[in-house]
Structures are given as structure tokens and as C-alpha cells.
Amino acid sequence: MKKELLAPAGDMASLKSAIKNGADAVYLAGKNFGARKYASNFTNNELIEAVKYSHLYGVKLYVTVNTIIYEKELNDCLEYITFLYNIGIDAIIVQDLGLIKLVRKYIPQMEIHTSTQAHTHNIEQIKLLESLGVKRVVLARELSLEEINKLDTNMELEIFIHGALCISYSGECLLSSCLLNRSGNRGECAGLCRVLYNLRSSNEKIISEKYLLSPKELNTTNYIEEIKKSKVISLKIEGRMKSPEYVGYVTYLYRKLLDNNNYKLSEEEIFNLKSLYNRGFTKGYLFNNTDNEFISLNSSNHQGVVIGNVIKVNPHRIKIKLTKKLHQEDAIRLPNNKGMYVNFLYNEKGLLINEAKPNTIIYLENKVNLTKIGEVRLTINANLKKELENIPEKKINISCEIKALKDEPLLIKYSDNINTVEYIEEKVTKALNMPITKERIIEVLKKLGNTPFVLKDIKCNIAPDIFIPIGNLNAIRRNLIAELITKRTTPKRNLTIPKIEEKIHPRLNNNIKISALARTQEQIEVLLKNNIDYIYITDKTLYQKYKNYSNVYLRLERVMSHYPNYDHENLLIGETGSLKYTKNNNVITDYYLNVVNSEYIKLLHDLKVSRITLSPELNIENIKLILNNLNNIPIEIIGYGSLEYMIMKYKLLTNMNLPKNQNYYLENKSNDKLHIIEDNNTHLIGSKKINLINNIKELKELGINVFRIELFNENAQEVKEILTKINREKI
């Protein structure tokens, strides 16, 4: 099965670089609804140009619409997707299941791929997405290739093969949202996993100022043969915020690896790859990377590649012994971790030079106040950058057929094996003086110049004594080539859709019920004694002890590899595969599903979910807009407590060889504390508490059914105090 090489583009230069270097498909975003909001991204006019350029070269174009979509955005988003469909986009990449439901209803012809932000990591989720009309799923980066090959599905599967990694399961991170009000689910991630943290136990500092949550860059160049043999159909390079040179060179390397069996990168290719961008490389969970090879503790930025050592320094000059080449206009990082461009490069004799070879001594001006010796790293490879900027446009092979017989219509055809354009017009006349030769006709028809085409085959049936004006042949060729370009780049789509009707549904104004998440037996006992309406228990052993209470629920994990036999149980579910349990159970969906619009709620209700918990990223105004479009579907919100900011496969405590019987937390320079729970995965619980207790009356008037308390490490007395505050407000 041929694999698709899928490259990123943050701007038009990156798009062209990807296509020149062999991408089969490119993914990018418009100015809205994309999960890389701080990339340049594409205006609508640029998207039209991008489609034409991509399709001209036979490359597919996918557009990310992979944020969660707020209620007030649904019409605008659907209008935008209609625009994408009409300009010929090959597929959209989506996170929000509510949006998938809408697109299937209004634009059924649009191909949908689910984003890695949809947190798809098991077969039950894939079955659900298939039932919703999704064609391809971008799998969670935490899955191994072995696990992927065991997935029993005909769905198209896509994986990341190179680039930056998120430490969290994608779509499952609230860190940036809760601490800086910049939602990763809205494309605004602040990269708080890439900052320095201290690891503490109580007040004891165990590790100081390390990049404890910053993964290395994924690199599968050594494993491409295994990927070729896998069930995966699309191989994706991360990098919509990377340079065109990076995009082009990484695409070039993987194209080479895919097209040449058992090809190994040369030393020069590895050097070039490292010089473009790397945080250190990892094979990732795709090939069962061990955790101690996964994190880049000492740096969260581009590390470059070592090219030599500073062996002597004074306030004016830096003396360096090179192990690799260095060129004028390169950029380097010095032992004080400061960078500089090599504007002036001197040899041992003090003469200015353009380049220096390995194993030579060079001098640089000390513009960065360097005072110590150590490694020199190349961070910008100027020569490679120039080479990549000057790669020529691709050429498309076409064929030509000409029939030029006396007293018969002139026939000229061009074909790219899919599209054919032809000229059949006036009769060919006998030459009165000098006949046109076959060779001259072929020369004119092959003259494709600056067009994207190159003529690889021509079939001729030409009489020897005919006359055709050269000007006519030139005009015919130009017109046919223009027509062929139009056929390759113009979509035959013209869809219009109605606006989604906004209906105001009155909500039942009942008393708000109270739910609570409990992690300890002590918490459960207090909640039972206070007749809390719904109690969610995280510990399976404790759940078995209390499950006979009708108001007790088991909270399932948000990462599921298999599904135990739960029948006739009360379940709080945290991932979409667990929707399979709605047939025989009372199921509530947790806030981990990122529900932010009425369409997603209606979808879950149709799937027999009893009650839906809204995302804590919503404010009260957004909640009001959602409830206006619902007809008494039971809704729950997180009203008080500690949220889980992140879940990651990386086992931080285990990797640090720390005992599990202590309370650990991470702390950044802003004194934000992230409490650590480690089981099958690692969970980071925020110390900041959400608190809507004073808003209970307003929430009741909106029609909210259940107000939830998320408990973490509170003791019995602290739980009682929280319940007392809530009861004062409860009506």
C-alpha cells in the first residue's frame, strides 16, 4: 500500500517548499479555527491560491478546523467549511464531534479526518468516528506501532513521524487555559510544558529548574521500513510553525526514505537535519521509547549541532577549534548559551575568510561577553538555507498527440493521464513554398518554458508537404496548456447552505442538584452523610464497596486500552470509546470530552448519555448560549474544585526513581503548583480552584441541572466546609 507523505505549511513559502520536496499532501490552517493560532496561517485568498498550486502538482490539501467550536461560532464555522468545500479542499481535520455532526448534515460530500486533538487511542473510538462518517483518524501519539497494527478497522489511519511532541495526550490539556486563559483547545497554547519547573515533595526541593515536561523531537528516520509495512496510510510531519527550509528538508528526507528501500541517511543529511531544528531526538512512543530518552531536561529550544569547541577567549576574540565546517552568515550558540551570527570569520593569520574547514582554528569577535570555554553549536546553517531556497519548481510529465494531414482538421492533444485538452479546427493545407517539417512542429509543441509541464512523450502523424503557421502552433500550445492548468486546478463545486436556526428553548427551573468527585474513603463517607445527589468515585476498590448506593458512580479512566464488562452500572466516562457503555448503563460524560456547543450535546444525547458535563473552559455567557438551543437535556458543570490540567503517558516519578508514598508537585517561576498523581499514566492536578459557588442562583436560572465539586486532597472537615458554603447558596 502506497503511503502518503503529509507535510505542514504555516505559510505559502512552506507550502511550496513541501511540494517541491515531494509531499503527497499538505495540511494547513486558515486564520480561524486552527490549533496553531500563532502560525502565520492563510487568508481566504491565500487558501484559494494554495488549493490551485497544490492541485496543479497533484498534491492533496487538508485544512485544520481542529479547535473546539463555541456556540456563537457554529454558523461562521459552517460557512467557512462551505467555502473550503467550494474552493476544492480535499478534506478538513476536525476535533469537535459536534462540528462533525453539523458537517455531515449540511456538507455530506466533505471528507473529514479527525485531529489528534480528538484523543483517539482505541478501537471503540474509531468505530464511533466511522459511524459518524469520518474517513480518516489521526491517532494519539502515545500509541505504539504494534498497538496500531492490531486495530481491527478499515478506517484510514494517520500518525506523526517527525517533529515536536506534546507531553500531554493531545486535546486533554487545560494547563495553558487554566493558568493563562490561553486555551490549547482553541489554538492558543502558551507552551507551559516548555518552561522550567522545580519538583518538590512537601517543602523539600528534589529537582531544581529543569525542563521536566519538555519532550525531545520525534524522529523516525531509522524506523521507516517498519512504518512502510504497517496499517498506517498517512505519515505526518509536524511543523506548521517551522521555517520553509525545515519543512522542505524534512519532507525531502522522508521522501527519499519512502522511495528507496532500506535507505539510511548519510552523515551529512543527519548533520543538516540537526542544524535545522532539534531539541534532541526521540523515537517516541511509536517505537516504545523509554521515558529516560523522552525528555530534554536541560533545554526546551533548538539545540543545534556541535561543530567545535572554544579553546581560548578574551574580551575581544574567541578562539575556536572546529570539528565541522563553518561559513560566514551561519549562526552559532556559545558556551554561555548566547547566540550570534558569524558576520566576520577570521583564520589563524587573522585574515577574513568566507568558510573554515574541519580541524582548523578560527577566530570570532567576542560580541556576547563570553568568558568560558566549551562547546560551539551551529543553529543556523546558511549554506543549506540558500540551497533549499533555490530548489526549482517541480515539473509534471505530460504527453502530446498531433495529427496533421492534408485537407483534414488539425488535431493537437495534451494529456497528464487524467485530464486531456485538445484542439480540432481548420483543415491543414498543402504547402505552396516551404513545407513545415515534423521536427519543427515537435520543437514548437515541446516549448513549455516556464509552465509546470515537461513533455515526455509525443505521437505524430504528420504529412510531409503541409503548411501550418508557427504563430498558430504557438497560440494553440499556449491555449491548451492554460486549459490543462485550469482543469487541474478548478473545482466543480458550488454549494450553498442555510443558516442554523437558533431556537430559544425554555429550561426547567428546578433546584440544582449537587455531585461530587471523591478520591478517598474519608471524602465518600462525608458525602454520603450529607446526602449528596451524585458521588463519583475514582478508585475501583472503593467503588465496589459503595456501589450498592444508587447515587454512586464509577469514574472511568480517560485513557482506555480495553473495556471491562460493565452492565447495569452507574458510570462517569472520560473518553468517547466508553460511549459503548450507554446500551446497558446509566452514563454521564465527564468534562474531559471538551463539550462546548449544543450540537455535541445533542449527539451525546442521541447516543443515550444520561447527562453531559460541559467543559470548564466555558464562561457563563457561553453556557447561556448553549442552553438556549437545548430542550431540557440534563447538563452538569464543574462548580468548585481542583481540575486535572493534564494527563500524560510519561511517568515522571518512575523515571526519577522516586518512591510513590509521598505527595509531589511541580512548581514554576510563577509559583503555580501542579500536584502529581501517577498510576497507569501521570496526572497533573492544579492547585488553583474553580469556584462558582456564588453563581449558583444564576446557574439555576439558566437551567443547569447539576453543580459538581471536584475534590482532591481535602480532609473530612474541609469537605464539610465546602458543602456548607454550597448549601447557603443552593435554592
Helix (H, G, I), strand (E, B) or coil at 357: coil
* Contact status, residue 449 vs residue 482, Cβ threshold 8 Å: no
Render pLDDT for 103-137 as a digit per residue (tens, 0 to 9): 999 999 999 999 999 999 999 999 999 999 999 99
Q: Which pLDDT score is estimated for 730? A: 62
C-alpha cell at 239: 511543523
Q: How far is CA 214 from CA 26, 164, 279, 429, 484, in A?
A: 27, 10, 9, 75, 49
381-388, long-range: CB within 8 Å, 24+ apart, which pairs?
381/272, 381/275, 381/276, 381/330, 382/327, 382/328, 382/329, 382/330, 382/331, 383/327, 383/330, 384/245, 384/249, 384/272, 384/275, 384/276, 385/245, 388/17, 388/244, 388/245, 388/248, 388/249
Amino acid identity, residue 27? Answer: Y
Percentage of the chain lying above the pLDDT 90 cut? 88
3-state secondary structure 109-169: CCCEEECHHHCCCCHHHHHHHHHCCCCEEECCCCCCHHHHHCCCCCCEEEEEEEECCCCCC
Any idea how long the chain is? 731
Which residues touch 254 (CB under 8 Å, ≥6 apart)? 5, 161, 162, 221, 224, 235, 237
pLDDT at 506: 66
Q: Is the pLDDT confidence value at 731 over 80?
A: no
Neighbours of 278 (CB within 10 A): 17
pLDDT in tens, 292-350: 789 999 999 999 999 999 999 999 999 999 999 999 999 999 999 999 999 999 999 99
Ranking 264-278, 430-444, 517-531 by mean pLDDT, the lowest is 430-444
Under the banding of pLDDT at 50, 70 and 90, the label for residue 729 is: low
pLDDT of residue 232: 98
pLDDT at 601: 97
- Going along the chain from its start, the domains and CATH numbers come out as 4-165+216-275 (3.20.20.70), 305-389 (2.40.30.10), 396-489 (no CATH), 513-729 (3.20.20.70)
Pairing of the two strands 374-380 and 331-333 = antiparallel
Q: Can you give the pLDDT at residue 203?
A: 72
Residues 6+ apart with CB under 8 A from 289: 282, 283
CA gap 562, 570 in Å, rounded: 18
Closest among 167, 277, 165, 161 to 222, alpha carbons compared: 161
**Per-residue pLDDT reduced to its tens digit, 477-506:** 999 999 999 999 998 888 888 777 766 666
Q: pLDDT digits over 231-248, tens only? A: 999 999 999 999 999 999
pLDDT at position 503, please?
67
As to burial, measured by CB atoms within 10 angstroms (0-12 exposed, 13-18 middle, 19+ buried), residue 267 is: exposed
Tens of pLDDT, residue by residue over 717-727, are 999 999 999 98
pLDDT digits (tens, 9 = 90+) for 65-80: 999 999 999 999 999 9
Average pLDDT value for residue range 424-445: 91
* 609 pLDDT higher than 70: yes
On average, the pLDDT of the chain sits at 94
pLDDT in tens, 190-234: 999 999 999 999 878 899 999 999 999 999 999 999 999 999 999
pLDDT digits (tens, 9 = 90+) for 14-50: 999 999 999 999 999 998 886 566 667 899 999 999 9
pLDDT band for 712, please (50, 70, 90 cuts). Answer: very high
